[in-house]
Chains A and B, each alone.
Chain A
Amino acid sequence: MTFWPFWLGAIALASVALGCLVLLRRPMGVSGNLAQALDPGARAAELEERTLTQEELRFALEQATRDAFADAEIREAMNAARPAKSQPALGAPLGWSVNVLFLIGIVLGAAVSGIFLGGASATIDVGPTYRALLGDGPRAWVMLFAGGTLVGFGTRMAAGCTSGHGLVGCGRFRPGSLVATACFFGVGIVLSFALVWVRR
């Protein structure tokens, strides 16, 4: 299979990210789709508790001060002017079925690629590099499961993966996403070198 040149891949990924924002009014983020598909209640609660902004915090402190010390008129006048609850300019979180449909879409899209362009068929061959570094057969399956568990747990903890933090977060220059991307790329690089070194 010949892979796409880099510029085509870049355009494709950026287009999908943009499509999510325009059509779904949500930033793309596969780990988020997964988390919301598998554990919708918990994720919603996590998101709830983090939308307090600086403005809201300051208002709350000022309000407490006014309630303690100020005259009734001042309290009424100023307490009424609370800042609008911070909401992202984007739409509401996607419903459960929309998350699931996105995930199913990934599988189907890749199937189209595999069937019509790559001539791929069902295989359990992990490929030469994986076999050389981590083994084959059941040993590889254990590694894949372990790696997958780290991916699932880590992306949930970081609240984002290569699409959410990497593509969208970095594209918007979000400091948290820039740090996250540097971390997971950096660690991936280090571990990959280590795997080669161990096998020497």
Chain B
Amino acid sequence: MKRSARWRGGSALVLGALLGFSLSRIGFTSYDELHKMFVFSDLRLVLVFAGAVGLSAIAYRLLPLGRAIPTRRIDRSTIVGSILFGLGWALSGACPGAALAQLGEGKLFALFTLAGIVSGTLAYGPVNGRLLRWATDSCG
């Protein structure tokens, strides 16, 4: 790798590690904690999320980042996809990052979750290409 590519690779590894560490320490890898968030019996995780969004919003205001990639319009792919994701999240207890973090923690059952996530991710290409043909937005 070139030097700058090595730097990006190293940064990615460190940032990913910080994310995995944080997800674990916060409790996003625990179905017990996540469920408490979803049924409003403990707001800690909600406050984590809201707080993180708030802090990020302030940071984005201060940093010269340019426009976010604009939303074309509210795509049905965004809405339907998010609905499917929400269902899967409550059913498996893991968003993509959390599933990987669960694996790191030694929760071996996360292998089933990850197998599902990989399958779903790979299936989307052909399904959308041949059946749905929906435009897909971006989160950037």
Contacts of A156 in B (CB 8 A): 81, 120-121, 124-125, 136
Please state if A30 and B96 are interface contacts (CB–CB under 8 Å). Answer: yes
Is A184's CB under 8 angstroms from B17's CB? no
Chain A 98-114 near chain B by CB (<8 Å), digits 1 or 0? 11011111111111111
B71 CB to closest chain A CB, in angstroms?
Answer: 4
Pairwise interchain contact B77-A159, C-beta atoms closer than 8 A: yes
A124 at the B interface (CB under 8 A): yes
**Are B18 and A175 in contact, CB atoms less than 8 angstroms apart?**
no
CB distance from B118 to the nearest CB of A (A): 6
Q: Is A50's CB under 8 angstroms from B109's CB? A: no
What residues of chain A lie closer than 8 Å to B22, measured between beta carbons? Answer: 4, 9, 12-13, 16, 109
B106 and A162 contacting across the interface, CB-CB below 8 Å: no
- Taking a contact as CB atoms under 8 Å apart, the answer to whether A151 and B99 are in contact is yes
Q: B128 is contacted by which of A98, A157, A175 (Cβ under 8 Å)?
A: A157
In the assembled complex, the Cα of A133 lies from the Cα of B21 at a distance in Å of 27
Q: Which residue of B lies closest to A39 (CB)?
A: B125
The CA-CA distance from A189 to B39 in the complex, in Å, is: 6
Interface size on A, residues (CB 8 A): 130
B14 adjacent to A154 (CB under 8 Å) = no
> Does A65 touch B at the CB level, under 8 Å?
no
The residue that A148 contacts in the complex, of B8, B44, B77, B99, with Cβ under 8 A, is B99
The winner among B11, B24, B125 for most chain A CB atoms within 10 A is B24
Task: Known A162-B95, A172-B68, A187-B87; judge A144-B116 contact (CB<8 A).
Answer: yes
Contact A24 B96 (CB under 8 A): no
Q: Which residue of A lies closest to B70 (CB)?
A: A53
Max chain A C-beta neighbours (<10 A), residue from B25, B54, B118, B129? B25
A89 to B121, CA, bound (A): 27
Which of A41-49, A66-74, A77-85 lies on the face that meets chain B? A41-49
Inter-subunit contact A154/B81 (CB<8 Å): yes
Q: For the complex, give the distance between the alpha carbons of A117 and B106 in Å.
A: 13
Q: Which of B94-127 contact A (CB under 8 A)?
A: 94-97, 99-110, 112-125, 127
Q: Tell me whether A161 and B48 are in contact (CB under 8 A).
A: no
Q: Smallest CB–CB gap between B27 and chain A, Å?
A: 4
When C-beta atoms are compared, the residue in chain A nearest to B10 turns out to be A101
Are B113 and A154 closer than 8 Å at their CB atoms? no
Query: Other CB < 8 Å A-B pairs besides A114-B106, A123-B107, 8 of them?
Result: A11-B51, A14-B51, A16-B15, A39-B125, A97-B1, A110-B102, A163-B97, A171-B53
Pairs of residues from A and B, 8 with the lowest C-beta to C-beta distance, nearest first: A105-B16, A148-B116, A89-B66, A152-B120, A10-B51, A147-B92, A150-B88, A158-B81
21 residue pairs bridging A and B, Cβ less than 8 Å apart:
A13-B52, A42-B129, A99-B12, A110-B105, A124-B109, A141-B112, A144-B93, A148-B88, A148-B114, A150-B116, A152-B118, A152-B120, A153-B123, A153-B127, A157-B136, A158-B82, A159-B137, A163-B95, A180-B79, A187-B83, A191-B38
